[in-house]
């Protein structure tokens, strides 16, 4: 497991881009046959990519968690962005098609990831937060997610938000998670930008054509910094930071949030014209 130590609201202002990346951006998440996990001190989230090839991959515990198994005190959200796969939780199989979500409850002991076809492997994106009560493991196909249409072609931000792990669908402790898909020709996400002091958030951009980039905006609204980001890495946003971006093509991203309020609409919007 990698460890990512974030920068605070004062020090990020004087950091170079490579220093900001070390503080907020993970290494590439998906490598054939591997599980790559990063622990960030932003709300103690663990972010990861699991790409099973011919062999199944177990979710391991780690010395730093000081837990008998990974979910002993944690909940986990998974979204598959690859080929068909299966996740087995304490002996129960959950078939995972592309864009399916699985919420894995606290105290689930054995979690195993498999691809149906090693030539077209599943790519399981993982977001995990500390959990304080035992709930139920729930599989959410994309068709069962709450779907919201936002933006317009004129403002280059026409997009669909799929909320799969959210109150009313999954009884989680902190985690709220889903997917935002930008329509062809739309490049701006989260416009207008916002903060939510009650929660932190992690974005993982994907389905960005090779050689294209996302210019991710972070920081306080009056001290915005821009990080050029590639597909399939995750970027953590502290509660004081905006998290918005523009791509050189359309793309998709997974957002995952943890904190003390699970209301998706609890956001403090900032006018684009007020950004500095």
Ligand X SMILES: O=C(O)C(=O)C[C@H](O)C(=O)CO
* Residues in contact with Zn ion by the rule CB under 5 A: 201
Q: Quickly count: other Cβ atoms within 10 Å of residue 158's Cβ.
A: 20
Which partner in Zn ion, ligand X, none is near 118 (CB below 5 to 8 A by kind)? Answer: none
Binding residues vs ligand X (CB under 6 A): 150, 159, 161, 180, 189-190, 196, 201, 243, 255, 267
CB neighbour burial string for 169-197, b if at least 16 within 10 angstroms, e if fewer = bbebbbbbbbbbbbbeebbbbbbbbbbbe
| Residues forming beta bridges with residue 152, ordered by sequence position | none
Give the residue among 157, 216, 204 at the shortest CA–CA distance from 178. 204
How far apart are alpha carbons 250 and 258 in whole angstroms? 26
Decide whether 202 or 233 has the Cβ nearer to ligand X. Answer: 202
The helix/strand/coil state of 142 is helix
The response to whether 216 counts as a known ligand-binding position is no
Nearest distance from residue 265's CB to ligand X, in Å?
Answer: 9
Torsional class of 211: left (φ above 0), alpha (ψ -120 to 50), beta (otherwise): left
Which partner in Zn ion, ligand X, none is near 180 (CB below 5 to 8 A by kind)? Answer: ligand X
Nearest distance from residue 202's CB to ligand X, in Å?
Answer: 10
Nearest distance from residue 197's CB to ligand X, in Å?
Answer: 12
Nearest distance from residue 190's CB to ligand X, in Å?
Answer: 4
Tell me the binding residues: 194, 196, 201, 243
Tell me the binding residues for Zn(2+): 194, 196, 201, 243
């Amino acid at each position: 497991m990698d460890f990512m130590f974030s920068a605070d609201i004062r020090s990020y202002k004087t950091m170079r881009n490579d220093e900001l990346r070390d503080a907020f951006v993970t290494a590439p998440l998906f490598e054939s046959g591997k599980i790559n996990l990063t622990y960030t001190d932003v709300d103690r989230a663990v972010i990861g990519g699991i790409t099973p090839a011919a062999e199944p991959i177990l979710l391991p515990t780690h010395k730093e968690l000081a837990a008998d198994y990974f979910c002993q005190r944690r909940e986990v959200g998974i979204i598959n962005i690859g080929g068909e796969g299966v996740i087995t939780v304490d002996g129960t199989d959950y078939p995972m098609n592309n864009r399916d979500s699985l919420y894995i409850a606290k105290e689930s002991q054995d979690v195993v990831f498999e691809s149906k076809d090693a030539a077209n492997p599943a790519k399981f994106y993982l977001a995990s937060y500390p959990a304080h009560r035992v709930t139920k493991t729930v599989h959410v196909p994309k068709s069962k997610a709450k779907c919201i249409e936002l933006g317009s072609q004129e403002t280059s931000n026409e997009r669909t938000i799929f909320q799969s792990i959210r109150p009313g669908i999954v009884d989680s402790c902190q985690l709220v998670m889903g997917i935002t898909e930008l329509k062809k020709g739309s490049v701006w996400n989260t416009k207008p930008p916002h903060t939510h002091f009650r929660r932190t958030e992690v974005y993982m951009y994907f389905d960005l054509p090779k050689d294209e980039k996302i210019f991710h905006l972070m920081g306080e609204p009056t001290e915005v910094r821009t990080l050029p980001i590639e597909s399939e890495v995750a970027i953590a946003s502290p509660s004081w930071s905006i998290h918005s971006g523009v791509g050189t093509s359309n793309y998709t991203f997974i957002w995952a949030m943890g904190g003390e309020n699970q209301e998706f609409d609890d956001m403090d919007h900032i006018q684009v014209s007020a950004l500095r």
